[in-house]
A and B are shown apart, each in its own frame.
Chain A
């Protein structure tokens, strides 16, 4: 009862002194409903700041507010960059996304394996060029019909199901999320890949 009265004073409900609820109604749901009503108001920075400070003492209400510190609440027109530019911002990166995706790269006949960070490349051309540089060889030209034609090497990768797939068939993002390791196949095995299995 006391907390409710204190809360009413905060909201300055004196003007109407209206209270929702049948006798015996749950207090929690009332406070939640009140807090969600507050959120319907225009998001003035002052309001969000007040919310952050005053609500910290009232836990029942706090569940509706974000757990991030008040400074992270959306402020209209901040930071001050033109709407046009804001709409062009890159999508956010989570912690997990920001760190690299390192996969092993093996080449048939090479004495040891290498590791590369798939995050660093933005598409197949970059990746293939990097692999060519790393192992000093050339990959042939890619075509959907014949795989990599023109050299005795073919880049392949192991996907989540454990199958060996030819690099380049699926969209880059899909490849990045399913690639577990890379292998540069050589010789007859590689050519075998070119003849539609």
Chain B
């Protein structure tokens, strides 16, 4: 076949073969073939072949993944793909998980749902990550899609358990309700009781991160009705007794999330629970635990034989406890633990888990609350690398590391695809040699040719980034914090990594030169985040001008209406003055105040009490809106009022301006200066243009 010809008439006649070189290829056949493609990368490639293939692909696509909700609009999406049944949407920049993005930033799901209600009436699945979801949206979702089956919410915010109640009440065909690690207003567990008594279709139920008590009898009835239940993750409050009853009802579970395992167990209960676990032959994934006593753990051993994923990241296990548990988990592929297991615990991992592919070690306590005395070091990581040759995904929070150890680790395990190392003290060097950790990450990128995701830490110079740019040819995601020496570092990465898609940087000395060095690069990436760097508003504006198809957003926290209005002036700019405190008196004309007063009352007294007051200048006092507005007519008898570093807000200033139209009310917002720091910069490509729902503290350039 040299070329394909589109067959507009799908009649039986056209199926006859022709003598021409090209053969007719009915759309339906092409669509049927393409419908078997699941990988979105493959589908994207297919859609680029020719127009026919583009059309066939778009008609046959049923699942769509949108990595940045602002990169495309609901209208564009629904126009291109008419038959979508399943949508995955990701919203806020990843650093919002670490409180670096102010609330009400955006990523609202509602506008998507509104259009889906008409265009994707048969929508079955919705998976949201870092989106803002309201109870209203959840209710709308529950009522608008009769076939709705699966809802998964991870790291979302804006909703409460009332929203969940809408889902459980109205979604008659629900198979999956997966609520993970969200910022949810947890009012009550009533949502669980809203499942109708004849509801039986649930296969996945995860409420592990909700704290309110649910009605256990309702849960028990639900579990006994839902014969297809495969995943059950309960919350901390479930007792062992309750867990036992659930296990007896659902021994066919594949994934189980336990509650806290703290209660005292009588010997009879102990053996009953052990036998219940023994009956769970299909258990592949175990999580939960929270607080757990040593004597409980052996109860789990019979269930561990087929475990592929063990998530102990919410339990502060000791090394001996972990060690004893792992002996029973020979098939383990993924393990998440806290660093309470220490290096000895990780040695046990190396000894007992030859099939391990993924390891995540989380900090057990807040390193800033206390000295990091315990936790894990390079020793533990080395031990794992010697024993687990198949290791390719690591997330490792540690208190110390050496270049030599990392070099050995990647020699042992050259197949890393995800290498996320977090040395918890920012800018900490190799503790043995006192050198930067450049060679460690150099070794990683040189040896691990399949590396797709990298997070760096420790004391790092530009050399690290030279290595990354030169060797990390498959790198897609890079996270950098407190690293680098100059613009050159970031330039190396932008020029060097051909597959780079997400770059997130915080607190590094990269400035405008770096930002602008390869601005065309950003069009081939999903997004760039820079906060606490040396980029200025000028640089951001220039980028926005050069690249009109990029959305360039700067977050200016001082722009919030509710936040401090840093400087407010009356009528004319105050000249420089030395001042001192004066006694208040009836002939007072000029008063200068600094670092004084306890409340609004102080300023109110002055405004009400000094009849000849003409100039009032105040800095760094606890006077706020109430004081400012207490005697606003007063200002007309004065030359000027200056307040800086006080508690006045934009709202207060606006109110004053409204009440007194003959006054000039001016606010200086320092972060608006072109030459000054652009504290938080978020740049991403979009075919939807600049977003229309940006909050006031986000400046779109």
A interface, CB within 8 angstroms of B? 16-23, 33-34, 37, 42, 44-46, 71-86, 88-95, 98, 122-126, 129
Q: Which residues of chain A have C-beta atoms less than 8 A from B428's C-beta?
A: 71
Binds A, one of B237-245, B385-393, B487-495, B571-579: B571-579
**B579–A79 CB distance below 8 A:** no
Cβ-defined contact, A21 with B580, below 8 A: yes
- One of B37-45, B358-366, B624-632 contacting the partner: B358-366
Bound complex: CA of A79 vs CA of B368, how far in Å? 9
Partner of A94, one of B313, B367, B370: B370
User: In the complex, which residues of chain A have a beta carbon less than 8 angstroms from the beta carbon of B581?
Assistant: 22
Q: A76 vs B340: C-alpha distance in the bound complex, in angstroms?
A: 24
Cα of A79 to Cα of B581 in the assembled complex, Å: 45
Inter-subunit contact B577/A85 (CB<8 Å) = no
Please give, as numbers and ranges, the residues of chain B lying within 8 Å of A90 by CB-CB distance.
316, 340, 364-365
Residue of A nearest to B397 (CB): A79
B306 CB-CB contact with A under 8 Å: no
For A20, A42, A45, which residue has the most chain B Cβ atoms within 10 angstroms?
Answer: A20
Which residue of A34, A83, A88, A122 is within 8 Å of B97 (Cβ)?
A: A83
Q: Is B369 close to A, CB under 8 A?
A: yes
**Given the complex, which residues of A lie within 8 Å of B369, measured CB to CB?**
92
Q: Is the CB of A18 within 8 A of B594?
A: yes
* Residues of chain A contacted by B574 (CB below 8 angstroms): 16
Contacts A21-B580, A85-B313, A126-B294: A76 and B619 contacting too (C-beta < 8 A)?
A: no
Q: Is the Cβ of B370 less than 8 Å from the Cβ of A19?
A: no
Chain A residues with CB under 8 Å of B293's CB are 122-123, 125-126
Given contacts A20-B595, A45-B532, A125-B264, is CB(A86)–CB(B366) below 8 Å? yes
Name B's A-contacting residues (CB within 8 A). Answer: 95, 97-100, 155, 181-183, 209, 262, 264-265, 290, 293-295, 313-314, 316, 340, 362-370, 373-374, 397, 422, 424-428, 479, 481-482, 506-507, 532, 557, 574, 576-581, 592, 594-596, 619-620, 644-645, 679
Is A79 in contact with B99, judged by CB distance below 8 angstroms? no
* Interface hub of A23, A34, A83, A129 (most chain B Cβ within 10 A): A83
A72 to B592, CA, bound (A): 38
Known interface pairs A89-B366, A92-B366; A76-B294 also in contact (CB < 8 Å): no
Select from chain A the residue with minimum beta-carbon distance to B270. A125
Per DSSP, chain B at the interface is: loop
Q: Which B residue sits closest to A29, measured CB to CB? A: B595
B577 touches A18 (CB 8 A): yes
User: Residues of A contacting B619 with CB < 8 Å?
Assistant: 16, 18
Whether B295 contacts A89 by the Cβ 8 Å rule is: no
B645 / chain A contacts, CB cutoff of 8 Å? 37
Is there an interface contact between A98 and B373, defined as CB atoms closer than 8 Å?
Answer: yes
Sample 29 A-B pairs with CB under 8 A, ordered by A number: A16-B576, A18-B577, A18-B578, A18-B579, A18-B594, A18-B619, A19-B594, A22-B581, A23-B580, A44-B532, A71-B428, A73-B368, A75-B426, A76-B99, A76-B100, A77-B506, A79-B397, A83-B98, A84-B209, A88-B290, A89-B366, A90-B316, A93-B370, A94-B370, A98-B374, A122-B294, A123-B293, A125-B265, A125-B295
B362→A126 contact, CB < 8 A: no
* Highest count of chain B CB atoms <10 Å: which of A19, A80, A91, A95: A80
- Closest CB in chain A relative to B92 CB, distance in Å: 12
B residues near A79, Cβ cutoff 8 Å: 363, 367, 397, 422, 424
Do B422 and A89 touch (CB < 8 A)? no
Check B373–A78 contact: CB distance below 8 A. Answer: no
- A23-B580, A81-B363, A92-B366 are known; give 19 further A-B pairs, CB within 8 A: A19-B579, A22-B580, A37-B595, A46-B532, A71-B427, A77-B99, A78-B481, A79-B363, A82-B155, A88-B290, A88-B314, A90-B316, A90-B364, A93-B370, A98-B374, A123-B293, A125-B265, A125-B293, A126-B295
Taking a contact as CB atoms closer than 8 A, the residue among A78, A83, A125 that contacts B426 in the complex is A78
Q: When chains A and B are docked, how far (Å) is the Cα of A92 from the Cα of B507?
A: 27
Q: What residues of chain A lie closer than 8 Å to B620, measured between beta carbons?
A: 37
Q: In the assembled complex, how far is the CB of residue A11 from the closest CB belonging to chain B, in whole angstroms?
A: 12
Contact B98 A17 (CB under 8 A): no
Given the complex, which residues of A lie within 8 Å of B265, measured CB to CB?
125
Q: In the complex, what residue of chain A is closest to B293 when comparing beta carbons?
A: A122
Is the CB–CB distance between B426 and A71 below 8 Å? yes
Instruction: Give the residues in chain B near A22, CB-CB below 8 Å.
Output: 580-581
Q: How far is the CA of A34 from the CA of B595 in the complex (A)?
A: 8
Q: Are B362 and A17 in contact (CB under 8 A)?
A: no
When the two chains form their complex, are residues A123 and B264 in contact, meaning their CB atoms are under 8 A apart?
A: yes
Query: Cβ of B596: which chain A residues have Cβ within 8 Å of it?
Result: 20
- Whose C-beta in chain B lies nearest to the C-beta of A94? B370
| Given A74-B368, A85-B362, A17-B578 contact (CB < 8 Å) | yes
Give the distance to chain B from A15, nearest Cβ to Cβ, in Å: 8
A80 to B620 CA separation, bound complex (whole angstroms): 34
- The answer for the CA separation of A81 and B506 in the assembled complex, in Å, is 15
B183: A residues at CB distance < 8 A:
83-84
Q: Which residue of A lies closest to B424 (CB)?
A: A79
State in angstroms the CA–CA spacing of A122 and B260 once bound together: 13
Q: How distant is B669 from chain A, measured CB to nearest CB, in Å?
A: 14
Q: Report the separation of the CA atoms of residues A74 and B557 in the bound assembly, to the nearest whole angstrom.
A: 19
Q: How far is the CB of A126 from chain B (nearest CB, A)?
A: 6
Can you name the residue of chain A whose Cβ is closest to the Cβ of B422? Answer: A79
**A17 B595 Cβ-Cβ under 8 A:** no
Partner of A82, one of B97, B365, B427: B97
Q: Which residue of A lies closest to B291 (CB)?
A: A122
Contact of A77 among B98, B397, B557 (CB under 8 A): B98
Residues of B within 8 A of A124 (CB): 264
The 10 closest A-B pairs by CB, nearest first: A77-B98, A92-B370, A92-B369, A84-B181, A82-B97, A125-B264, A77-B100, A20-B594, A122-B293, A17-B576
- Residues of B contacting A77 in the complex (Cβ-Cβ under 8 angstroms): 95, 98-100, 506
A106 to B293, CA, bound (A): 25
Q: What distance in Å separates the Cβ of B154 from its nearest Cβ neighbour in chain A?
A: 10
Residues of A within 8 A of B397 (CB): 79, 81
Write out the residue numbers on chain A whose beta carbons fall within 8 Å of the beta carbon of B479.
80
**Cβ contacts under 8 Å, B294 to chain A:** 122, 126
Q: Are A89 and B364 in contact (CB under 8 A)?
A: yes
Query: Whole-angstrom distance between the alpha carbons of A22 and B583 in the complex?
Result: 11
Whether B579 lies near A83 (C-beta < 8 A) is no
CB within 8 Å for A83 and B99 given contacts A18-B578, A19-B578, A78-B426: yes
CA distance A84 to B365 in the complex (A): 13
CB distance from B643 to the nearest CB of A (A): 12
Given A20-B594, A82-B97, do A45 and B363 touch, yes or no (CB 8 Å)?
no
